[in-house]
Structure 1
Amino acid sequence: MISSYHSWIAAIRIARRDAWRSKGRSALVLAMIALPIVGVSAVDLTIRSSELSPEQRAVRVLGAADAKVRDPHMGTPIYQSPDAQSYAPVGGYDDYQPSAGGPDRAAAAPQLPAGSQSVKDSISYAKVRTRYGILDTELREVDPASPLVKGLWTLERGRLPQGSGEILATGAFLEESGYFLGSSVTPRESKTSYKIVGVYELPNALKSAQLLAPPGTLLAPLDRDLKAAGGTGVHPQDEYLVKVGGEGFTWNMVKETNAKQRLLVESRAVLLNPPADSEVPLYTEQPRDAWRPGAMIGTTELAIVSTIVGLAMLEICLLAGPAFAVGARRSRRQLGLVGANGGDRRHIRAIVLSGGLVIGAAAAVTGTALGIALTVGLRPVLEGTIGERFGHFDVRPLELLAIGLLAVLTGLLAAIVPAVNASRQTVLASLTGRRGVRRANRVLPVLGLIAIAGGAAIALFGSVSKMGATVVAGGSAIAELGVVALTPTLVGLFGRAGRWLPLSPRLALRDAVRNRGRTAPAVAAVLAAVAGTVAVATYQHSKEIQARHEYVASLPFGAGLIETNEFTAYRDVPAMRETLSKELPVAVRADVDRPVVGKPGCAPWGDSPDCGRAEIIIPKAQRCPLYGAENGPSSFTLAQRKELRNDWRCQEGRFGVQNSLVVADEKLLSVLAVEDPGAVAALKAGKAVSFKKQNVLADKVTVRLIMGRAEPAPGSAPDEPAPGQDKVFAAYQVPESVKGYGVELVLPPAAAKSAGIASVPFGSYFTLDGGASSEQRQRLAGALDKLGMDTNVRIEKGYEGGDSLVMLVLTVFAGLVTIGAAGIATGLAQADAEGDLKTLAAVGAPPRVRRTLSGFQCGVVALMGVVLGSAAGILPAVGLRLTERRAAADLVRNGIENGFSAASEAVPYVPISVPWTTLGGLLIVVPVGAALLAALVTRSSGALARREV
């Protein structure tokens, strides 16, 4: 035992001296191992520091109050979780009636025990005028001088508001708006300006653009101005900060408030000492996992993280292994002397393994120290990125120690194969410098083939089974390891192409094949980097093609729509239309109105008793039976549902448009690219034009005017509309091939007027003479902003995928990693083959041969790695796409069984497409770039060496 201890101490001393003597190689290996340690330790520190303790979270959420109380607008007693992040009505949602609550109900103030204190905290949203235009801003009203709000924010500079015209602003608001301390701010719909007298910071929301004012000075005036302009006013979210004293707001008080006052409570006492699950009714009524955020996340993410860490360690080992192998060969005389003086194979292995241990330990210390320093130095940047301040700088020694041990383990793993190879050499071969002749390993290729076949089978099985992406990823990783194991044999096969190459590339290829112990790990490292990139690129490219196929245009190509929301005053729409024609090259403009029921200013949703809505009534004979039955689709057998899903009555229309019933003339048909002459003639003749077959029966269409919030009669069919006044129009049904782009029915203005249906303007469809440049769009936005209108402008440009940039980044990343790995392999090759290069100089080879040979050595390694990595990377992408195809097919099958419409019956289009452009860049640009870079950094001449005696 003592002898082993002393032998390891001696081995570590020898390894430390050898590492110090070969500083360049040692620094290279140390950097490769330390780099991921820097990243992992920095991530660990960032995550731990950003996690708030219960005490810190309570201060940021509650300030100095004991609790925060708000109305969830359920209108019924509730159960809640201790952290108030989840809640549900008592008895569940089966018998819950949403109409009893809702945001329209006035927020209830809490009934507090005698002697309690409270302060109201109200938050709403509005558009605020800035130096650049309009900014969506959070407006907040609370007493900034109240002691209960201490800790909710930090006043950075300035002072607290003292008058009704003074407010505070967050630094994020100032940065986005272009304002500064002392500037005046005006909400767009308000007639009142406010002076910024202080700048504050929200520790939990650094990126939040917020304005804060004393109670009654900001939201109430804005509410009056909105209502005066015909809007619906401000609907703030009210919360109450409560101080009750004593033990605080206990869990029993929370449950009592849930039941009697129907309010949601976030309590400091409960946050610091949460009750047991058995005391939480929300958990006893339903399993806790159903209410725990992220409860369904875990196994898949753990498998992905484990795979990434494993592949990262594999790549480091593959790159560091050759470095240790070269170091062992450079020290073979020293190792031979150890053997000559009585050392056995285990001593040789211990010396080489100690090299991995020494460099791994140095990498652990260096990487951890750099990670801590990097996190401390970049703390403001990290806090700005995650959007919140750290609770404190949380250094956990055990976690950092585990990360450091990972570096030591990586160094040891990288040195295992070189240690075994060095111990197998005879003392004579080590002392004379002869490498001897080694037979190729015949077991490793067999294991590689088995791993490739088994991994591919597992991945394909995962793609067709319900086990999903985790099995696909595991099988792909096994197959990739099989390719890595097969790499030495594949490198030998590449060597057969040398007979057709010129001198320099032939020498480079022969050197790579002859030194497979150095070349194979480097090729495998390049392979691992490229395989991951090719897998992601193939998957993204396939998703891009699928998205392009599934894209549904909202308008004909080049057409546009400008519209207002339902709260904008209709009197401003003509000015909006004129601004559109002035700022954009409009070719055809079709002005459209919407029917209005009640007063002209009524919104189309019937939000008050004096207002209503207009609905297109589908004749009973043409309604889909699946939705008219008492129990919906479940009223039919599977065979009946399969038959009905192809019924034309059950075909769904398009959604996503604000108004499917419009009043317009034939210009609208021109903008919508309707070339049917019958539709144009019908609209000119005063007939309605329908784009939905179900709406028209016997050339007639019915529009029902429904007042207020009228509901269908009790006991009526599920698809029965609410009662109202019917207006019948002569209608023309366009052919099914003609698209309405969300418009279902077009009423001519004369027909709507004769039927007594009032209408108000809401927007215009248009086509452009050419296109709209970015400058024109910005000028239009600025002109519309001056009108003070809330508008939406969209122009159909066709499918615009965003994956091209992703593909470019992936290609560049793969190129950098590949060139780096190939460069490392080339440097090791030069160190290992220094004698061969000096021999070339001694026999009279031209100086450029050394540079050319180095370039081709790097290019050969890069090319072999890229070719093998491209082949290995396609498998996981294919497996994941097959998994998605199966999931999509299952979704369609379930839709058919539940009687959904024929739109869900379409065979899912889940293509598998190889990104040939990316592969071409990897196969051509990367090896050529690696070769040129290696040639440029290599000296063309070297000093001759004396013969060793």
Structure 2
Amino acid sequence: MSVLSTWRLALRIARRDAVRAKGRSALVVAMIALPILGVSGADLLFRTGELSPAEELTRELGVADAEFRVESDGAIEQSFEGDVTTWLEDSEYTAPDPAADLALVTGLLPPGSTVLPDISVSQRFDVGDGVVRAQLREIDAADPLTEGMFTPLDGRLPEAADEVVVTEHFLDESGLAVGDELTVGESGVSARVVGTYELPSGLDEDEVIALPGAVIPRLGGDTAEDVWGSYLVGVPDGVVDWPLVKEANTQGVVVRSRAVTLDPPPDSEAYGSMYSGGSGDSEFFVAVGVVVSLVILEICLLAGPAFAVGVRRSRRQLGLIGANGGDRRHLRAITLASGVVLGAAAAVVGVLGGVAVTVLTRPWLEETTGSRFGAWDFRVTELGAIAALAVLVGTLAALVPAVTASRGDVLESLTGRRGVRHGSRVLPVVGTVALLAGAAAALAGAVTMDSSAMVAGGAIVAELGVVALTPALVGAFGRLGRRLPLSGRLALRDAARNRGRSAPAVAAILAAVAGLVAVSTVLVSDEERQRAEYTAAVPEGTVTLYTWAGEDDMETDLTRARQAVERELPVAERADIATVDVGYGCETDDCGYMAVAVPEASRCPLDGWESAQDMTVEERRRLAEDPRCVENIDGGTSSMTSVAVAGPELLRLLGADSPEALAALADGGAVVFRDGFRDAAGEVTLQLWDTSPDWDDATGAPASEPDRSWTFPAVTATVENVPAASPEAVADLLITPETAERAGLGPVDMATYWSTDRMPDAAERRALDGAMEQVSDSLYWDVERGFQSSTSMPLLILTLAALVLTIGAAGIATGLAQADSAADLATLAAVGAAPRVRRTLSGLQCGVIAFMGVVLGAVSGLVPGIALVLADHRTSVGWWDDALESGWVSGGRPELYLDLPWVTFGELLIGVPLVACVLAALLTRSRITLARRAG
């Protein structure tokens, strides 16, 4: 029989088998189709979301031929796209002047050209219950040149000077509706919202559009200095060529030309154009190759057992073919044809499904990314290659079962005997060696060689070693079922006896979980470092209000601001804070200076880079670890952080109200927040220079003696039970108002702290912003939120992805087990097993597979995770050592922050197997129909 005839027959048999075993076929098709669905959807999504240069120009320039922007009062040079510019000699920044800039641009253009000004400025808008900051833009949105820049949504475009349109996002943020009024900043200029629109590439931007000249000229104040203007240009022949761009550059004008961008001049004319070599492309293709390889491996691990089960179910048919003259080549072809048929079906389902999912989810994806996609871009070649990949994967998944089927004994196939099967004795040895060697290589690369490539390579080898050990480990798990109830014992023994389908599913789960654990270890360790390095001046939830001392009406503004805070926010205890006036508001170089003296014993011997250069590396290393240099107490400042004048309520609010500190304030003493300010007698000295002192260049300290000084008995405050609060950032020294008055220190009121009953919400913060706008621009307020984790969302996404893959792999293994053990289940029912046993057994089979994969994956994932953290720490230490060698001393040796993802472990080890077990039990029929044997 010819090869063509053999494959024609094999494909016909494979198609009939697929139709006959619909459940198993659907399972295999689903396994292959799901990744193909994701890849094809991602391809279409990427191609559609990737805007062409023409689409980008339309969104930014509309249908204009170019955009002109005045940047300098002298000549400049620019790249073809106008994104890279350099000012030539004697060129300086020029403040925007819309009238003069319009005249300059118009003079550069040929007769008959059209110029449309596009002027914008950032402003605050009063929206009734608060303020919202947005971009105020003046442009005629009805002009034909703007087509494609905006997408009108509701209402209409402005037709009068007191009308504006706003983005939909601005409407959501402000709580306004079409027809409402808004006020621009403090100008009192109001306008009515007559419509909404969206920016195709900025769906989450806050912007307001008014007619040209309708609002910005009426704002007054310093608004003109912040105006940003450009000019859309249409020329008669539709081409703003490179010579015209170069001519505009001589006048300090940057041009983004549609013609030049889409059809750039020769590279010899280029200036500042970014050239990207092939390295980025090669890295991209390497990454794509790795991802595709992992996808193929994952599918083969899951689909291979399904084909193996199919081969066992078709043993008699294959035996008959062998008995009638079929050789091994025919048997291999028939099994491989099953992979081709099911792979082709998966290709159709996956590609069409990916396209359908992308089409249906496009609006949601656009809202999520904040940008509209471009025109649909179906790359037939790429989608065809993805479909071919599905067929290839199906064929590869059937390869090992095909070889096994071709080597089967005809007599055993006809009689249904399966023979004696022994596990491989070589594979566990190879897996153990690979595991140990890979782990050693990964740790060596992290600890001694500082090689990320070696860490990654070692981690991969170690993980492959665990995969090779999986069959033996599955068998070991099976021995744990001796003391379990019936269903659990059956589930574990079934997984151990049928390692051909259990081990690949466990390996697939292992690979996914190992990656999750590795990434999670790196993320939580980095978060631990950030948490340790985060320093809050006040406890979490504390509201702080500052004003700039020396401003006119400062006391009145601060009083009104305090009233606004207490009116709008859920504040509780309050502490008013003053400081000592040493010439605040002074606009000369001869202002006063104040400092808390640092005793000689608390000073770091390093007085700067020059003194460090005179030391040996060993001396610099020793001093870098010295607490005096780590804390680096300088005590010199002319701002509030030198002296705080407040009562004991500040200590209570900071959580530093120890009896000793309270007693020191009551007795007219001082409280310091770092012990280095106290001398041997337990006193602290405050120094004051009436004019700016001379400075010692070597030490950076004042070279002249202070004009006045005060000495106070002092106590060092301790902070207890206040996470992430470091009150030393509040001030160096704290004294009461009475102590300041007795010492002749004139306190200046400048801040207030409040504790809160709860964290203020967005509406309350917006209301306070609006109230502060009515008080003064010299006020600043904030709420201490504490350390904000940035890893919660990535960990959640990774965990959900691992959950889906784990449940999918465990469910596939369970479905195969049910198909492969139908006779055993029938026997159980025949001997009187309760109907719930089948449901319980199915759930436990799924849970057991998930649990084994999760446990092994969690253990194997720790190797690369810990190695990567150690490698990063070694890099940081290397930079620190290099700095010491060069003479720089920047704090102590970097600490190692290694934390394990315990929450992720809990979700994986408990939640994932439990969810898999429950789902499998719920989706399994508890009753089966017993077939009567004929005759």
* 1:590 correspondence with 2:576: yes
Q: CA deviation at 1:402?
A: 1.8
Contact preservation (8 Å) 1:863, 1:923: yes
> After the TM superposition, which residues 455-474 of structure 1 pair with which residues of structure 2 at under 5 Å, given as runs?
455-464=438-447, 468-474=451-457
CA separation of 1:856 and 1:170: change in aligned 2, threshold 3 A: closer
Contact preservation (8 Å) 1:651, 1:902: no
**What does residue 724 of structure 2 align with?**
none
Q: CA deviation at 1:498?
A: 4.0
**C-alpha separation between the residues in 2 aligned to 1:702 and 1:277?**
64
**C-alpha separation between the residues in 2 aligned to 1:389 and 1:803?**
27
Contact preservation (8 Å) 2:625, 2:893: no
* 1:113 correspondence with 2:108: yes
Q: Which runs of 5+ in 2 are unaligned?
A: 719-726
Question: Which of these residues, 137, 152, 155, is aligned with residue 149 of structure 2?
Answer: 152
* 1:369 correspondence with 2:352: yes
CA separation of 1:494 and 1:151: change in aligned 2, threshold 3 A: closer
Contact preservation (8 Å) 1:690, 1:734: no
* 1:519 correspondence with 2:502: yes
* 1:578 correspondence with 2:563: yes
Q: Deviations over 1:87-118 (max 9, x none)?
A: 45569xxxx9xxx9579787983564264654
Contact preservation (8 Å) 1:666, 1:683: no
Q: CA deviation at 1:825?
A: 1.1
**What does residue 54 of structure 1 align with?**
53
**What does residue 239 of structure 1 align with?**
230
Question: Which of these residues, 356, 359, 362, is aligned with residue 342 of structure 2?
Answer: 359
| 1:911 aligned partner, one-letter code | L
**C-alpha separation between the residues in 1 aligned to 2:352 and 2:818?**
32
Q: Deviations over 1:342-396 (max 9, x none)?
A: 1111211111111111111111111111222222233322322222223311111
**C-alpha separation between the residues in 2 aligned to 1:309 and 1:205?**
33
Q: Deviations over 1:536-571 (max 9, x none)?
A: 333333334333333322214664412358999744
CA separation of 1:121 and 1:725: change in aligned 2, threshold 3 A: farther
**What does residue 8 of structure 1 align with?**
7
**What does residue 765 of structure 1 align with?**
753
CA separation of 1:615 and 1:431: change in aligned 2, threshold 3 A: farther
**What does residue 82 of structure 1 align with?**
80
Q: CA deviation at 1:326?
A: 1.2
Contact preservation (8 Å) 1:596, 1:612: no
**C-alpha separation between the residues in 2 aligned to 1:263 and 1:663?**
52
**What does residue 21 of structure 1 align with?**
20
**What does residue 805 of structure 2 align with?**
817
**C-alpha separation between the residues in 1 aligned to 2:500 and 2:266?**
60
> SS at 1:282's partner residue?
coil
**What does residue 858 of structure 1 align with?**
846
**What does residue 723 of structure 2 align with?**
none
* 1:347 correspondence with 2:330: yes
**C-alpha separation between the residues in 1 aligned to 2:95 and 2:622?**
43
* 1:279 correspondence with 2:276: no
Contact preservation (8 Å) 1:615, 1:704: yes
> SS at 1:68's partner residue?
strand
CA RMSD for the aligned pairs? 4.6
Contact preservation (8 Å) 1:594, 1:762: no
> After the TM superposition, which residues 479-878 of structure 1 pair with which residues of structure 2 at under 5 Å, given as runs?
479-556=462-539, 559-563=542-546, 570=554, 571-581=556-566, 583-592=569-578, 642=621, 645=624, 648=628, 652=632, 660=641, 664-666=645-647, 670=651, 671-672=653-654, 673=656, 699=685, 701-702=687-688, 730=710, 739-744=727-732, 762-766=750-754, 768=755, 771-774=756-759, 779=764, 782=767, 785-786=770-771, 788-789=773-774, 792-796=780-784, 798-799=786-787, 801=789, 803=791, 814-878=802-866
* 1:909 correspondence with 2:896: yes
* 1:199 correspondence with 2:164: no
> SS at 1:241's partner residue?
strand
* 1:409 correspondence with 2:406: no
| 2:561 aligned partner, one-letter code | M
**What does residue 213 of structure 2 align with?**
216
> Once the two structures are aligned, what percentage of the paired residues are identical?
42
Q: Deviations over 1:718-739 (max 9, x none)?
A: 9979999997554669678875
CA separation of 1:693 and 1:249: change in aligned 2, threshold 3 A: farther
CA separation of 1:488 and 1:505: change in aligned 2, threshold 3 A: same
Q: CA deviation at 1:489?
A: 1.9
Contact preservation (8 Å) 1:687, 1:729: no
Q: CA deviation at 1:928?
A: 4.5
CA separation of 1:485 and 1:693: change in aligned 2, threshold 3 A: closer
| 1:370 aligned partner, one-letter code | G
Question: Which of these residues, 430, 434, 442, is aligned with residue 417 of structure 2?
Answer: 434
**C-alpha separation between the residues in 2 aligned to 1:63 and 1:723?**
63
Deviates more, 1:9-18 or 1:527-536: 527-536
CA separation of 1:612 and 1:821: change in aligned 2, threshold 3 A: farther
Q: Deviations over 1:912-942 (max 9, x none)?
A: 4351x54344334444444444344434443
CA separation of 1:679 and 1:921: change in aligned 2, threshold 3 A: closer
**C-alpha separation between the residues in 1 aligned to 2:499 and 2:678?**
75
Contact preservation (8 Å) 1:120, 1:142: yes
**C-alpha separation between the residues in 1 aligned to 2:715 and 2:280?**
48
**C-alpha separation between the residues in 1 aligned to 2:238 and 2:57?**
15
> SS at 1:869's partner residue?
helix
Q: CA deviation at 1:619?
A: 9.8
**C-alpha separation between the residues in 2 aligned to 1:263 and 1:718?**
47
Q: Deviations over 1:768-788 (max 9, x none)?
A: 3xx422468854753563453
**What does residue 908 of structure 2 align with?**
922
| TM-score where L is the length of structure 2 | 0.84
| 2:57 aligned partner, one-letter code | A
| 1:887 aligned partner, one-letter code | T
| 2:258 aligned partner, one-letter code | R
Q: Tell me the matched-pair count.
A: 906
**C-alpha separation between the residues in 1 aligned to 2:186 and 2:818?**
73
**C-alpha separation between the residues in 2 aligned to 1:704 and 1:239?**
50
> SS at 1:211's partner residue?
strand
Q: Deviations over 1:831-886 (max 9, x none)?
A: 11111222333344454443443343333323322222222221121122112211
| 2:163 aligned partner, one-letter code | E
* 1:67 correspondence with 2:66: yes
> SS at 2:729's partner residue?
coil
Contact preservation (8 Å) 1:153, 1:200: yes
> SS at 2:507's partner residue?
helix
**C-alpha separation between the residues in 2 aligned to 1:451 and 1:657?**
63
**C-alpha separation between the residues in 1 aligned to 2:54 and 2:46?**
18
> SS at 1:19's partner residue?
helix
Q: Which runs of 5+ in 1 are unaligned?
A: none
Q: Deviations over 1:659-706 (max 9, x none)?
A: 535663445853553769799979997999897979999945346778
**What does residue 126 of structure 1 align with?**
123
